Structure 1
């Protein structure tokens, strides 16, 4: 992909942004009180309905920012939407235009991004904003945290009171061509304050003078909120207990719960059902030089319906041509268990000769039980729990649980989902897939 100059982006803004209005229901309340919403990207051409959309949510957050915009992410790419204006790329241009406008009106923009992609052509936005004097960027030195892995978080915070956290990478195609799900909270400074502690760790790790991981982290990064002592909030009559879990262990300061602990506890505590929607899944590492078996999450799914009478487990896996061929037998084996149902979810390609790379997949990362919602930035190979930086909302709330259950069954019962094939010849369902060996 060619690099894009600031001048080219500004020109594209004039041509494209006006054609992509911000429509739909606002995430902000008219009286200025706190709100929450489940936010999704439904890819172009996919016949599913969502009330709140990633594009409109991000655009509103940025357009309404008064003092600060903080992003923590793997990478940031709105500008390359200029290469795909016929396929909703103008939405990326509109968001970048909103960031430029925010910077010009004096909003402080701070970006904590994984250093490995800091200078590659497909991530031009931070360089455009820096060159215009509108943003400060810290390239997070993930090698200080772990020998492998990346910063995989997808986080936007504005004015220290509004927050999006979810599966969508901070990029134009995650707003248009990839199926995503996240949570947004507005006018919620306590929630944002706790998330800010994690973001501040990324910011510290990206500072030029940072050469090592603190041991221990200063007490300012500790939290009071976890599964034992969650934050209790009332948002428009929806009472919820909430906490933020993280990966990996090196960033779990005192009081902070690990994702693996949070999700397995939710599964073990479930009494009636466990529903899980995820892209990559397997009881092993997939990105290490010498991969190894790590079945903690997989064991929880297998044990729960055995230990809890009548418990129903449904697993929905987003599959595409990059799904590991070697992962399918593990998915099939889950479907063999009593009270466990497994389906695969496939998004059809766009009807055009040239496809957009690394799109057209269900990229969701959430779990919901009869009492708990887990909405994450993390996939579920073991690497994501052990060496990859991520964050998750954990919420106990009838309203949030009910909303996630509705989203799950909308997808489960849709024409894009089908029972996983079990038998001798399942190539019709599993191919094409990635033949990269797990131990490569």
Structure 2
């Protein structure tokens, strides 16, 4: 498990040591057992392509060897020849070579002198050889260090099509895309069908489509008889398979190594990259976004799952002709690609994956003819190179900048971090309490009620709601979105992951669970848009998102959180207690929560 802090990222928010006596595994993967009708597909052989740093290292090492070895050999040979005692001419002292007078030194003394001279020269030779060896070893170590740096960082990076911060497009069109299940009676309120939005991106593709998704289960053949809208998944899969015939490259990043659909897409020319988050952070790949031709992007709750196009209630946004944001989001795609086949997080990142926009330096753009600001975010901390914003910090920024209200719609709300022992994760929970109590911000929290809802969700939501029971000018409301059950099939699970305030929206890939922000890979997008001119009649994206939230909030599927009327989301559900009683139950091993 990686625990290194990434350059440019602040440390994660502190967690309080409130321990619970049970361990609960929380995941967002929807488990559905079904059999594909396709014939078995042989997994394509995966070849590890050496990086540019490897070739550079080999060339550098070869050059050093050619440069150092000949000079070392020449020096050794020269000194070796000079140091040998001559057998033809006896080595004597200069005084002994004089022709006049009798010999002064005996033969033994002459031999001793000759031996001492030879030994002295030999010591000098050995010392010289040692120096050469040390120098050569240092040069090799330097070459290895350079190779390691270049292997971890792709100097040339990913081709960005000549698009830079200076020439990218800052005038964009943005739409909200939703999937509303057929049997859920909710109007679209000016939003676009998710299926139509994704197909429009494929219609615009000319060079490449880059997709990051946690799921790849688009084939819906086995379900189309009972769920007519399930065919949308199969149709989208076929369009992705046909991209190569249209000379459009499909590039995919996924954490799934045994997906049948990814194998089939690979056979149809797709470039598949695997990111093993389990090895890197002991987490999962939950990012979900598209980048098309470095111009258009999608980001939202929906993955490449036929249920996301039929039975799940999904929400996301699509931005057209917005190459500045696309450029920054594509850098996140490149970051994932750099981690393929790696079991460690690089300590040095390529500048091509640094963030372009953040809270301190947001992108100033014109969005649907209204001025706006925006920047992407991602998680976890160790995947945040320089100038990138963490998802949790993006959420903090939106909460802190709110002046009137904060509306939140998420699949799960659980301020816990579970790693063997559950700990209270106060990051978001504490910010909401501050907004309500200290700034009198109106907060509404809409959470899904479904089969994987953690029982402690009710306790935490009731704890929040109880803040305003006896305080004037304090408003915090909580509701559950209960899906429709038809013929044993649950439709309309609220899979949304967004927040809207009076001046900004945040779209993310996570349920608001501590583990997801700490361990899992995800992405988000912040858009700030506030009407400055009262006479401006253009509807802002903030207003549209607020209308979507209020539609869901006032629908017949949303039920107010009440102490004695909690809906049963799964068979393990327990009723919430008061905050005091819940605190006492933590220390009592016989309490209902202790067995969860």
* TM-score bracket, shorter-length normalisation: 0.7 to 0.9
- CA separation in 2, counterparts of 1:238 and 1:439? 53
Q: Which residue of 1 aligns with 2:195?
A: 55
Residue of structure 2 in register with 1:75 after alignment: 215
- The answer for the alignment partner of 2:277 in structure 1 is 142
Q: Would the aligned equivalents of 1:82 and 1:93 in 2 still touch at CA under 8 Å?
A: no
- In the alignment, which residue of structure 1 is the partner of 2:462? 332
Q: Which residue of 2 aligns with 1:366?
A: 498
**In 2, distance between residues paired with 1:409 and 1:261?**
25
**Residues 291 and 195 of structure 1: is their aligned pair in 2 closer, same or farther, counting only changes over 3 Å?**
same
| 1:88-127, Cα deviation, whole Å (9 max, x unpaired) | 111111111111222221110111001xx321xxx43211
- Match 1:107 to one of 230, 240, 248: 248
Map of 1:2 onto structure 2 = 35
Q: Is the 8 A contact 1:281 1:381 kept in 2?
A: yes
The aligned counterpart of 1:25 is none
Pairwise CA distance, 1:334:
1.3
Q: Distance in 1 between matches of 2:461 and 2:352?
A: 42
Q: Which residue of 2 aligns with 1:169?
A: 303
TM-score by length of 1: 0.86
1:81 and 1:173 in contact (8 A); partners too? no
CA-CA distance at 1:432 after TM superposition: 2.5
2:543 aligned residue (398, 402, 407) = 402
* Cα distance between partner residues in 2 of 1:264 and 1:303: 11
8 Å Cα contact 2:364-2:371 kept in structure 1: yes
Provide the rounded CA distance (Å) in 1 between the counterparts of 2:427 and 2:560.
24
Change (3 A) 1:337 1:188: same
Q: Secondary structure at the match of 1:242?
A: strand
Are the aligned partners of 1:145 and 1:250 in contact in 2 as well (CA < 8 Å)? no
* 1:221 alignment partner, one of 345, 353, 364: 353
| Partner of residue 364 from structure 2, selected from 232, 235, 239 | 232
1:194-343 equivalences under 5 Å are 194-206=328-340, 208=341, 210-286=342-418, 288-309=419-440, 311-338=441-468, 339-343=475-479
Q: Within the alignment, does 1:118 sit opposite 2:257 as a pair?
A: yes
Q: Does the CA-based 8 Å contact 1:75-1:118 persist in structure 2? A: no
**CA–CA distance in structure 1, aligned partners of residues 476 and 353 of structure 2:** 40
How many aligned residue pairs are there? 398
Normalising by structure 2, report the TM-score: 0.64
- In structure 2, the residue matched to 1:18 is none
Supply the distance in 2 between the matched residues of 1:235 and 1:340 (Cα, whole angstroms). Answer: 31
SS of 1:304 mapped into structure 2: helix
C-alpha distance in 1 between matches for 2:544 and 2:367: 15
Give the CA deviation at 1:37: 0.5
- When residues 320 and 433 of structure 1 are mapped into structure 2, their CA distance, relative to the original with a 3 A threshold, is farther
* Larger Cα-atom Rg: 2
Distance in 2 (alpha carbons) for counterparts of 1:254 and 1:204: 16
Moved runs in structure 1, 4+ residues, more than 4 A?
Answer: 433-440
Distance 1:187 1:94, change over 3 A: same
Structure 2's unaligned 5+ residue stretches are 1-33, 42-170, 469-474, 531-539, 575-592
Query: Residue 352 of structure 1 aligns with which residue?
Result: 487
2:264 maps to 128
User: 1:438 Cα deviation (Å)?
Assistant: 9.1
> Closer, same or farther in 2 for the Cα pair 1:433/1:325, shift >3 Å?
farther
1:389 and 1:166 map into 2 onto residues whose CA distance is 14
Q: Name the residue aligned to 1:29.
A: none
Residues 361-440 of structure 1 mapped to structure 2, 5 A cutoff: 361-398=493-530, 399-422=540-563, 425-427=564-566, 429-434=567-572
Change (3 A) 1:4 1:160: farther
* Root mean square deviation of aligned Cα: 2.1
Instruction: State how far apart, in whole Å, the 1-side matches of 2:572 and 2:355 are.
Output: 40
Change (3 A) 1:140 1:409: same
Asked whether the equivalents of residues 79 and 92 of structure 1 are also in contact (C-alpha less than 8 Å), the reply is yes
CA gap 1:127/1:331 in 2 versus in 1, 3 angstroms: same
Which moves more between the two structures, 66-75 or 430-439?
A: 430-439
**Structure 1: stretches of 5+ with no match in the other structure:** 9-32
Distance 1:170 1:196 in 2: 18
Question: Does the aligned pair in 2 maintain the 1:63–1:98 contact within 8 Å?
Answer: no
- How far residue 86 of structure 1 moved from its aligned partner, in angstroms, is 3.5
